[in-house]
């Protein structure tokens, strides 16, 4: 069946902070200039916010610019940070670092503890009121190109394709959405963004992107233990001194606590399981008392861009641009990216509007965007912390000290003393050592009270995929997991996936290993696409609407 098409001035892929901010800004500029500009946003989640997962403590700087009266309009930023604490953990104890010793960049006062999913739902309402068309449940599966190579738009995935690759009785062809400009706001490690970076050489001259995996739970805790506005971060146990990462605990309203753990994906031990490290962390004597007597409400996981300034690719290409986490604007030491994602979306909108208002037919390169973001506070936000992540190659403690010194010098207006920029080196998938050279890790069994197993966790992420569809997790070479990864690394996919998607099964005699992909469990974190040592796993979009359905995450 031939695909139908729809024409827009601007097509936005992804209803996250950057995509929605871009759509809102376009409509604001159009209204101010009395011009009619059509904008649509497509979102692969079943609803706006369904796939949004973040800590999150949000810096409102971009929101103040985009919608200055957001308080009057009811934006769900209800919990200002009132207490900011940072701890170093050992297995049995903790040491709080006095706030006076922390770089002012790390200060969270003036920021808000939020559900980023709910913020996006609110942003979507603001966008629709301005005339933006938003289509959740439709996954962008293909980039469309003109004959001259410029981006024409995207096509959504076909619905109703069976596991055998043949149409079923519920088959519906995808829709083509054509735009004069297409903005890709897919988030971290977007599969179309990967294609565009390769096709247009957008990563030429920049460092490899670096990543972490963030695993999060939402809890309802005893009101006597709840401290609305409390922000708690930690480093140290259960990770060793050579493995980067840390934790967060944010006390929202209504006795809810967002608790999570981040492991940098350049870890070296193939036996490490980020999910199990998180479960161990919750048993720490500083943390467990907060959760005892509480109830776990939701669970999720998501990759995080950590490369910072050195890893940001060129944003613009003929016919569109990358914005937000599709390009990678997270400030790692602040554990914040939403403000930069929103601002880059706004800047792309301004560049596109300028061309459209001038009568452009589109499909050209938004030349103004690159200079605009480098003139903006986004660049300064990343520039000040550019050497923090690379310093961690010296180990957690020395690296943290060097990164802290770098931030202090910038805060004291002495950044010229550290005028150089360190580089990241190899990508994360090259960091594993062979299993024969690594120490096995004995993780404790889940108690079902504070710590849990993966399958019960996936259950409360409300993850669901249509079972009769081809796996969206594609192996470039199906022989690699058993023939190479298993003998070399004890097949690390069994452990780095936080959702139990990948298994190695054997017969009753413990022989004949087989690699099994439980695609139904996938929470769309993208860790497999990033960490697989041979880059043999390619994450693609499943049918629209599939995946997690995060409430209040």
DSSP 109-158: TT-EE--HHHHHHHHHHHHHHTT-EEEET--EEEEEE-TTS-EEEEEEPP
Q: Which helix (H) or strand (E) holds 458?
A: helix 454-459
pLDDT class for 418, splitting at 50, 70, 90?
confident
What is the CATH architecture assignment of 79-115+210-305?
2-Layer Sandwich (3.30)
Q: What is the pLDDT of residues 105-164, one digit of tens each?
A: 889 999 999 999 999 999 999 999 999 999 999 999 999 999 999 999 999 999 999 999
Rounded Cα gap, residues 430 and 411, in angstroms: 34
pLDDT class for 432, splitting at 50, 70, 90?
very high
Q: What is the pLDDT of residues 45-72, one digit of tens each?
A: 999 999 999 989 999 999 999 999 999 9
Query: DSSP assignment, residue 490?
Result: S
The residues, any chain, with a CB within 8 Å of residue 389's CB and separated by 6 or more, are 210, 306, 307, 308, 332, 403, 424
Quote the percentage of the chain above a pLDDT of 70. Answer: 100
Q: Within 13 Å and on the Cβ side, how many CA atoms surround 29?
A: 21
Query: DSSP assignment, residue 448?
Result: S
Mean pLDDT of the chain: 96
Handedness of CA 331, 336, 339, 345 (dihedral sign): positive
Rounded Cα gap, residues 350 and 364, in angstroms: 15
Q: For the chain, what's the residue count?
A: 553
Handedness of CA 317, 318, 321, 322 (dihedral sign): negative
Contact yes or no for 347/185 (Cβ under 8 A) = no
Q: What are phi and psi of 187, to 5 degrees?
A: 90, -170
Assess whether pLDDT exceeds 80 at residue 509: yes
Q: State residue 37's pLDDT score.
A: 97
Which structure tokens are listed for 115? Answer: 């559900």
Bridge partners, 184 (sequence order): 13, 322
Assess whether pLDDT exceeds 90 at residue 396: no
Q: What is the pLDDT of residues 236-247, one digit of tens each?
A: 999 999 999 999
Contact yes or no for 264/517 (Cβ under 8 A) = no
**Cα angle, residue 108 at apex, residues 65 and 417 outer, rounded to 5°:** 90
Assess whether pLDDT exceeds 80 at residue 1: no
Tally Cβ neighbours within 10 Å of residue 68. Answer: 10
Which pTM was predicted?
Answer: 0.96
Rounded Cα gap, residues 234 and 95, in angstroms: 10
How far, in Å, are 151, 326, 493 from residue 189 at the CA level? 19, 6, 17
Handedness of CA 407, 408, 414, 416 (dihedral sign): negative
Considering only CA atoms, which of 12, 426, 431 is closest in space to residue 207?
426
- CA torsion, ordered 503, 508, 514, 516, to nearest 10 deg: -40
Query: DSSP assignment, residue 485?
Result: I
Q: State residue 365's pLDDT score.
A: 97
CATH number of 5-68+117-208+309-384: 3.50.50.60
For the 428-548 domain, the top CATH level (class) is alpha beta
Considering only CA atoms, which of 397, 460, 431 is closest in space to residue 533?
431
Bridge partners, 256 (sequence order): 220
Contact yes or no for 295/257 (Cβ under 8 A) = no
Q: State residue 431's pLDDT score.
A: 97
Q: What is the pLDDT of residues 6-36, one digit of tens each?
A: 999 999 999 999 999 999 999 999 999 999 9
Contact yes or no for 221/52 (Cβ under 8 A) = no
Q: Which residue has the tokens 């996250």?
A: 16
Q: What is the pLDDT of residues 199-233, one digit of tens each?
A: 999 999 999 999 999 999 999 999 999 999 999 99
Which structure tokens are listed for 357? Answer: 């208002």
Which structure tokens are listed for 112? Answer: 């808000």
DSSP three-state, residue 384: coil
- CA torsion, ordered 439, 440, 441, 445, to nearest 10 deg: -170
Query: DSSP assignment, residue 511?
Result: -
- The domains of the chain are located at 5-68+117-208+309-384, 79-115+210-305, 387-418, 428-548
The mean per-residue pLDDT over the stretch 376-384 comes to 96
Q: What are phi and psi of 233, to 5 degrees?
A: -120, 155
- Tell me the helix, strand and coil percentages in the chain, rounded to 5: 30, 25, 45
The mean per-residue pLDDT over the stretch 342-364 comes to 97
Q: State residue 2's pLDDT score.
A: 81
Rounded Cα gap, residues 40 and 28, in angstroms: 14
Q: What is the pLDDT of residues 256-293, one digit of tens each?
A: 999 999 999 999 999 999 999 999 999 999 999 999 99
Q: Which residue has the tokens 């179309």?
A: 192
DSSP three-state, residue 527: helix
């Amino acid at each position: 069946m031939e695909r139908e098409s729809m024409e827009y001035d601007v097509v936005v892929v992804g209803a996250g902070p950057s995509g929605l901010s871009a759509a809102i800004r376009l409509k604001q500029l159009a209204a101010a200039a009395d011009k009619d500009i059509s904008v649509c946003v497509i979102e692969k989640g079943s609803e706006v916010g369904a796939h949004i997962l973040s800590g999150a403590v949000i810096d409102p700087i971009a929101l103040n610019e985009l919608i200055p009266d957001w308080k009057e309009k009811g934006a769900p930023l209800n919990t200002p940070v009132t207490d900011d604490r940072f701890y170093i953990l050992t297995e049995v104890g903790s040491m709080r670092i006095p706030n006076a010793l922390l770089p002012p960049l790390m200060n969270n006062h003036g920021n808000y503890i939020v559900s980023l999913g709910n913020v996006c739902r609110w942003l979507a309402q603001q966008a629709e009121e301005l005339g933006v068309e938003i289509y959740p449940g439709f996954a962008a599966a293909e980039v469309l190109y003109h004959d001259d190579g410029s981006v024409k738009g995207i096509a959504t995935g076909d619905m109703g394709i069976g596991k055998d690759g043949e149409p079923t009785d519920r088959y519906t062809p995808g829709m083509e959405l054509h735009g004069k400009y297409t903005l890709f706001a897919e988030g971290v490690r977007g599969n179309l963004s990967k294609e565009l970076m390769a096709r247009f050489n957008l990563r030429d001259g920049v460092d490899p992107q670096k990543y972490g995996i963030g695993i999060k739970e939402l809890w309802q805790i005893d009101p006597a233990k709840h401290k609305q506005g409390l922000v708690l971060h930690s480093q140290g146990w259960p990770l060793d001194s050579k493995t980067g990462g840390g934790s967060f605990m944010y006390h929202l309203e209504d006795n809810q606590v967002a608790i999570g753990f981040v492991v940098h994906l350049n870890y070296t031990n193939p036996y490490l399981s980020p999910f199990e490290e998180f479960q161990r962390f919750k048993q720490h004597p500083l943390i467990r008392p907060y959760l005892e007597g509480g109830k776990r409400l939701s669970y999720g996981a998501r990759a995080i861009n950590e490369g910072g300034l050195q890893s940001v690719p060129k944003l613009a290409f003929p016919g569109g641009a990358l914005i937000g986490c599709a390009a990678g604007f997270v400030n790692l030491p602040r554990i914040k990216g939403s403000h930069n994602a929103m601002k880059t979306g706004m800047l792309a909108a301004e560049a596109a509007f300028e061309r459209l208002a001038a009568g452009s037919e589109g499909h050209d390169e938004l030349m103004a965007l690159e200079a605009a973001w480098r003139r903006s506070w986004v660049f300064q936000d990343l520039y000040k912390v550019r050497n923090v992540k690379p310093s961690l190659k010296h180990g957690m403690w020395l690296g943290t000290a060097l990164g802290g010194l770098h931030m202090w010098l910038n805060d004291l207006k002495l950044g010229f003393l550290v005028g150089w920029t360190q580089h990241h080196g190899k990508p994360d998938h090259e960091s594993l050592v062979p299993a024969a050279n690594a120490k096995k890790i004995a993780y404790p069994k889940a108690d079902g009270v504070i710590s849990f197993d993966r399958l019960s966790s996936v259950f409360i992420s409300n993850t669901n995929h249509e079972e009769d569809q081809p796996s969206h997790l594609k192996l470039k070479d199906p022989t690699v997991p058993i023939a190479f990864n298993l003998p070399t690394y004890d097949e690390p996919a069994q452990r780095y996936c936080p959702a139990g998607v990948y298994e190695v099964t054997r017969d009753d005699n413990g022989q004949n290993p087989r690699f099994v992909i439980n695609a139904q469990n996938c929470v769309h974190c993208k860790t497999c696409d990033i960490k697989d040592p041979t880059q043999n796993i390619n994450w693609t979009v499943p049918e629209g609407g599939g995946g997690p359905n995060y409430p209040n995450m």
